């Protein structure tokens, strides 16, 4: 019997797993892949972004517990497993000059120390594929950038018997990917689809803001349009973080499925032979394990 495929998605906060790669995860779950989300922080310093819930004193007083409950619901919707790495949200510093980050927060941890819990997760779960953010964090949130650093460090250390010897038996993940959900090509496709349908688009401002931003090398397009509704339900489960009437849902589902039916990734490391572009995060791994192609 072929070995069960395993995917580890490392994210900074509860809700990130539902906005970045969620439909791809749901597709893989439906195919029998064991998917685990590792959440670095509890999102303790996140703002309440849903206008309908802003100003609620009960939410303000209990936001960390509420965000954990939201994560539980999103996990159930996606069909994944989930674990907390136990770090404290750094918040998103704003202003000029930027204020210092709060003492003890995730982004101020020593990378070598902060990688240990993730190495432990990798050695216990034994993923074949790991996903996280690129070196820019997808956007420059200090926790996203730290998530990148910690994941890369853990990916490199997990197979080294001399690294973190108390963290379990060594395990070598075979591929590391960066989420590239918010690419210029995808955003342009959704923007143009809305305009062609005579509908207002919230994406013109995004594209203008990205005018000087270099495009990342997207290597892997996972067709998962049939699971976009699962992604949206998981995202809406994070009710404090998502405005159901906001730009996340400006483009109708059927329009998204036609205009851009994939979720996209950048292959950063591979220990198996690859042929780019890919349409499967497990390309090259399935044949190694005796699995049929996707």
| Distance, CA of 101 to CA of 114 (rounded, Å) | 17
Largest CA distance in the chain: 60
Q: Which one, of 239, 248, 242, lies nearest residue 67 by Cα?
A: 239
Q: Give the integer Cα–Cα distance in Å for 74 and 242.
A: 13
Q: What's the rounded Cα separation, in Å, for the pair 176 and 7?
A: 10
Distance separating alpha carbons of residues 183 and 212, to the nearest angstrom: 13
CA dist 141 and 138 (Å) reads 8
* Annotated binding residue 144: yes
- Say if residues 242 and 258 touch (Cβ distance below 8 Å): no
Q: Is 13 annotated as a binding residue?
A: yes
Separation CA 169–CA 199 (nearest Å):
55
Beta carbons within 8 Å of 150's beta carbon, 6+ residues apart: 10, 40, 111, 114, 115, 118
Q: Specify binding-site residues for Zn(2+).
A: 13, 16, 144
Q: Specify binding-site residues.
A: 13, 16, 144
């Amino acid at each position: 019997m072929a070995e069960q495929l395993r995917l580890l998605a490392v994210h900074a906060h509860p809700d990130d797993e539902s906005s970045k790669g969620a439909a791809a995860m749901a597709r893989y779950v439906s195919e029998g892949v064991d998917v685990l989300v590792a959440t670095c922080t509890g999102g303790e310093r996140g703002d309440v972004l849903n206008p309908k819930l802003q100003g609620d004193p009960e939410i303000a007083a209990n936001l960390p517990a509420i965000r954990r409950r939201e994560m539980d619901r999103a996990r159930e919707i996606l069909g994944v497993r989930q674990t907390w790495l136990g770090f404290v949200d750094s918040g998103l510093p704003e202003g000029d000059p930027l204020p210092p980050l709060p003492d003890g927060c995730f982004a101020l941890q020593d990378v070598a120390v902060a990688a240990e819990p993730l190495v432990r997760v990798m050695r216990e779960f034994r993923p074949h594929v790991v996903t996280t953010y690129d070196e820019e964090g997808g956007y420059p949130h200090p926790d996203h950038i730290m998530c990148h650093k910690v994941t890369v460090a853990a990916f490199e250390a997990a197979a080294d018997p001399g690294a973190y010897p108390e963290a379990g038996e060594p395990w070598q993940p075979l591929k590391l990917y960066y989420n590239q959900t918010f690419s210029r090509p995808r955003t342009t496709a959704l923007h143009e689809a809305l305009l062609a349908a005579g509908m207002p688009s919230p994406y013109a401002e995004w594209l203008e803001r990205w005018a000087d931003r270099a495009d990342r090398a997207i290597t892997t397009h996972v067709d998962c349009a049939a699971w976009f509704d699962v992604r949206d339900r998981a995202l809406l489960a994070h009710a404090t973080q998502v405005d159901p009437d906001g730009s996340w849902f400006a483009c109708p589902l059927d329009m998204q499925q036609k205009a851009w039916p994939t979720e996209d990734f950048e292959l950063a490391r591979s220990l198996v032979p690859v042929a780019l572009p890919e349409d499967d995060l497990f390309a090259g791994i399935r044949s190694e394990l005796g699995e049929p192609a996707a």
